[in-house]
Every structure is written in C-alpha cells, then in structure tokens.
Amino acid sequence: MTDSENLLVIIRHAPYSSNLLREGLDAALVAAAFGQPVDLLFLGQGIMALLKEQGSGAPGQKASLPTMDMLEMYDIENLWTSEASLAAIGVPSAALRDNVRLLEPEAMSAFMQQYSHILNF
Amino acid sequence: MLHILTKAPGSDAAQQMQQAVGCEDAVLLIEEGVQAALKPHWEGWQDYHSRIYLLAEDVSASGLGEMVDAHVFPTVDMNGFVSLTEHHLQTVTWY
C-alpha cells in the first residue's frame, strides 16, 4: 500500500440533479472526521459545486453551499479541478471558490497515483 | 492503477476516465462499458493497447460475443477481473 492511507473523493455530478454530490461530500466529511487526509477532485458537472455565488438551494432541497463551506472545518482544504473539465463546462475560474486548485491535463494521472483510496461520485 | 468503466465510450464517465489513465494503468470495461466492442475505432482501444479488457460475462450477457470475436478484442473472465484488482495497488471505478 502507499505509505499513508489517504482518500481522494471525485465529484462528477452537479448539485441538486442527484444526491451524488451530497453523498460524496458526506463520505469525505466522515473520512476526515476519522482523521484520514482527504482531498476532493471536481470533474465535469461536479464543477458546478465550486461556484461561489450559489443560492440557498433548489426548492425543497438542502443547499449544498453550506456543506462546501464546512469542508474547511474538517481540514479538507484541497479542492482540485482539471483545466480540461473547466474549459469543457465553460465556467470562468473567477466564478470559482477561492481555494480551488487547477490540474493540467498531463498531471492528472500522477495526481491520482498519490491516493491509496479513490471514491467516485 | 486499475480503472473500471461501467459506462459506454463517449459518456462523461468514459471521457473523464480518459483524462486520468496513466501509462502503467489498466482499464476494465464492465456493464455498459462493454459497448466499446461496438466501437472498434474508439481511441481507448489504441491508447490502452495490451492493457484494456472487456469482462467476458458482461459481453455474453449483452449479446456482443460475435463483435468481440470478430475484432479479437481482449477479454477477461471474473477470475481475470480478480487478479487484475490484485495486480494493481489502487482501483478506481468510473460510474
């Protein structure tokens, strides 16, 4: 196994279109609560969760923004996305939260190799 | 790393997986992923030559055996699946 146990949670679905974003964030929060280092990688539609101007939530649904803000309290500071996904979805990086870091396309596979466990939502 | 794709080529899951596969990684196509047998020109066949496999059980379940034989696409059975997971340190599934 890699020297340390660490988890990468990949988020690939937008808020409100399914429960997958909330389930992914919950999985990350639980792992962090148990002291495991956790990073989050947002790809494709998942990038919509990174917009800082989100509203209070679709009618009848719990807003996802508060959960995103809570990540830092659980020491989940590294929010990653890929330049390719950002370009594909057309979100300007200025619209993203401040603490989002960008991965060049060639760096993706080496980036993922660092994690002993990878969950995909 | 072993990448397991459960969606067809051209899907978001397939495109996002293609961003992540490294040169020593292997790819296993299961469930809807076996539809790659219908797309001999899918670039995955080229890019991951000799390290990409279709799951035989899902190929026969979907009735794609003839296409697979016609193009001699590589397959593994369930035991092959298990040994792939043992051979690679990490496994990531793309849904």
Answer whether B32's CB lies under 8 Å from B4's CB. no
Evaluated on CA atoms A83, A87, A90, A92, the torsion sign reads: positive
Q: Mean pLDDT, to the nearest integer, of B49-57?
A: 97
Distance from CA of A53 to the nearest CA of B (A): 25
A2/B16 Cβ within 8 A: no
Instruction: Look up the domain containing B86 and give its range.
Output: 2-94
**CATH classification of the domain holding B73:** 3.40.1260.10
Q: What is the ipTM of this complex?
A: 0.84
B48 touches chain A (CB under 8 A): no
A82/B12 Cβ within 8 A: no
Q: What is the structure's pLDDT at A3? A: 52
- What the block records as the tokens of B87 is 């051979």
Give yes or no for residue B8 having a pLDDT over 80: yes
Q: Mean pLDDT, to the nearest integer, of B57-68?
A: 95
**Which pLDDT band, with edges at 50, 70 and 90, does A87 fall under?**
very high
pTM of the model: 0.90
Q: What is the structure's pLDDT at B82? A: 97
Q: What is the structure's pLDDT at A1? A: 42
Give yes or no for residue B23 having a pLDDT over 90: yes
Answer whether B56's CB lies under 8 Å from B28's CB. no
**Chains A & B: contacts with CB separation below 8 Å:** 46
Q: How far apart are CA B25 and CA A59, in angstroms?
A: 43
B22/A120 Cβ within 8 A: no
Q: What is the domain count for chain B? A: 1
Q: Mean pLDDT, to the nearest integer, of B74-95?
A: 96
Domains of chain A: 7-120 (3.40.1260.10)
Q: Mean pLDDT, to the nearest integer, of A49-74?
A: 84
Give yes or no for residue B35 having a pLDDT over 60: yes
Q: What is the structure's pLDDT at A57? A: 66
Give yes or no for residue A119 having a pLDDT over 90: yes
- Distance of alpha carbon B76 from its chain centroid, rounded? 10
